[in-house]
Amino acid sequence: MRIGLTRAKITWCPGCGNYGVLAALRRALEEVGAEPSRVVLVAGIGCHGRIADYLNVNSIHTIHGRVLPVAIGVKLANPALTVICHSGDGDAYAIGLGHLPHAARYNVPITLVVHNNMLYALTAGQASPTSPRGLRTRSTPHGQAEEPLNPILLALASGATFVARGFSGDVGKLAEILVRAMRHRGFAFVDVLQPCITFYDTYDYIREKAYYLEEEQHDARDLRRALSRALERDRIPLGVFYESERPTMLDRLPPPRCVELSELAERFK
């Protein structure tokens, strides 16, 4: 089914990696045959968050760092919905980091797409948890002192049953990864390298260093191999690192039901 755009004016900078994520998401939703009325897109605070305004599906633009709790609540309330989360590296890996390991271990059947441009672009380019060591930004004029967070390693260690990395500069491959993530029965985590053309243009660097795991016969069922790939430093692996099956949060909980007002009154007597 065709997933259309809204009439909202797109205000991302020309060349922003978010355009690639939006295009890949539309392709993926159409590929899986998603009905717009049955899709809920939950977005956080940051440049990425405007994606909730542009796609003609149900959407929630939530507060900073709280994408996952809201999305989990939506899925628990109506398991029939396709719930897709969009978060930035600052949104997901800083203020919202505490929610990621729990969403992974709960194995909630939702998809989390992190727009990782390695800085806080919306507020003029300060360093974020994924900024590389030595990067000069407005908040680190002498260079970022700390080692960056490794999102892939974190997701694997937290028990995520689907872990992948995409690149917004390759819309076709990113769409394929998102299709696999949406079809996965469990928590699907996709970190997307999404360059900020204004404050940290990494397009050429990523294209030079990146390769796809499928090109090297990577076995996505092998957790140890996935961990080894996640620790690579000289190259940037893209694609699906790991995929496995285990009961989801919905499998472990009783089905939701409506509670009559009379029943509530009895409970609080």
Q: Which domains does the chain have, with CATH numbers?
A: 18-267 (3.40.50.970)
Query: In terms of Cα–Cα distance, which of 233, 51, 26, 6 is closest to 132?
Result: 233
pLDDT attached to residue 145? 92
As a 3-state breakdown, the chain gives helix, strand, coil percent values, each rounded to 5, of 40, 20, 45
The residue among 206, 29, 168 whose CA lies nearest residue 111 is: 29
Who contacts 233 (Cβ-Cβ below 8 Å, separation ≥6)? none
Predicted pLDDT at 264:
61
pLDDT of residue 255: 73
pLDDT digits (tens, 9 = 90+) for 186-232: 999 999 999 999 999 999 999 999 999 999 999 999 999 999 999 99
For residues 194 and 41, is the Cβ–Cβ distance under 8 A? no
Q: What pLDDT, on the 0 to 100 scale, is given for residue 253?
A: 86
Residue-level pLDDT at 261: 64
- Could you tell me which residues come within 8 angstroms of residue 102 by beta carbon, excluding any fewer than 6 positions away? 68
Q: Quote the pLDDT of residue 205.
A: 96
pTM: 0.93
C-alpha span between 23 and 51 (Å, rounded): 11
- In the predicted model, residues of the chain with pLDDT beneath 70 are 1, 256-264, 269
